[in-house]
Amino acid sequence: MPPAVKWPPRTVIRRSSGLRTLESALYRNGLGPVAGVDEVGRGACAGPLVVAACVLGPNRMESLAALDDSKKLVERERERLFPLIRRYALAYHVVFIPSEEVDRLGVHVANIEGMRRAVAGLSLRPGYVLSDGFRVPGLAVPSLPVIGGDAAAACIAAASVLAKVSRDRLMVEMEQHHPGYGFAEHKGYSTAAHSAALAELGPCAEHRYSYVNVRRAAESTGVRRAAESTGVRRAAEMADVRREVTPMRHAEVAYAKMIDRASAQREGQHTR
């Protein structure tokens, strides 16, 4: 009988090499390319959940030496690293889960679905996937959850920066479409200023109605019913296509266009 296959395959870490330790061990055992996947926006009450997957090469690059958990990096450093990651990564893919999908699926399930789609969207098939914090069932390749992964693996740190900068730019652009909420400042998180705007204006289409503070604001301002009727109209318009997939991808296209405009202002017309 053939020997049993252990899943996921085990690796031996010989010595610490910082953020590249785990990836180096995987590459050394023939399990590359290694993809890292991370999300941004779980705790926000407005705007999309953004998930990125990124594959870096096996060798350390000096240009990306400053990679770390995006939450630890200042905005200027994230913005500096963002185009470098896109330039030097072997592959990357960013997925946007709109607020209505977060409401429908729940944030955890939406997060898992986003991670699956981010990995599936890579232009090359990884041999191994490292996820930040928790298991991602349903991947076609072996994977490993890494606690504090965005501070422990370079590919996860790179994915974290891609997701964070993409979402921040989107929220800045979103302020022009939904003025008065301060999205450019708080990025959809529940700050005092955001709560005050919610109480005054009620939620907009980008808010997550399954979140308690948004639901309360909707009920107190009478916005909930209008939002629900809008959702019914949207569902009717899309009745002739795949109902669960199309709204998410339709939103992704809209978000991508908004980010393109924001990125063009920051980086000129350079795109990958």
For 180, the domain range is 172-267
- Are 162 and 176 part of one and the same domain? no
Q: What's the pLDDT tens digit per position in 64-120?
A: 888 866 678 899 999 999 999 999 999 999 999 999 999 999 999 999 999 999 999
Predicted confidence band at 262 (pLDDT cuts at 50, 70, 90)?
Answer: low
Q: How far apart are CA 73 and CA 68, in angstroms?
A: 7
Predicted confidence band at 128 (pLDDT cuts at 50, 70, 90)?
Answer: very high
Region 194-207: what's the mean pLDDT? 95
Average pLDDT, the chain: 81
Q: How many domains does the chain divide into?
A: 2
Predicted confidence band at 10 (pLDDT cuts at 50, 70, 90)?
Answer: low
- CATH code for the domain in which residue 29 is found: 3.30.420.10
Region 200-224: what's the mean pLDDT? 90
- Are 210 and 100 part of one and the same domain? no
The answer to the question of whether 132 is labelled as a binding residue is: yes
Residue 57: what are its φ and ψ, rounded to 5°? -70, 170
The answer to the question of whether 39 is labelled as a binding residue is: yes
The predicted pLDDT at position 5 comes to 37
**What's the distance, CA 11 to chain centroid?**
27
Give the sign of the dihedral formed by CA 191, CA 184, CA 197, CA 102: negative
The predicted pLDDT at position 240 comes to 29
* Percent of the chain clearing pLDDT 90 (strictly above): 58
Region 118-133: what's the mean pLDDT? 95
Instruction: From 139, 166, 193, give the residue that closes a domain.
Output: 166
The predicted pLDDT at position 231 comes to 44
- Are 41 and 63 part of one and the same domain? yes
The answer to the question of whether 38 is labelled as a binding residue is: yes
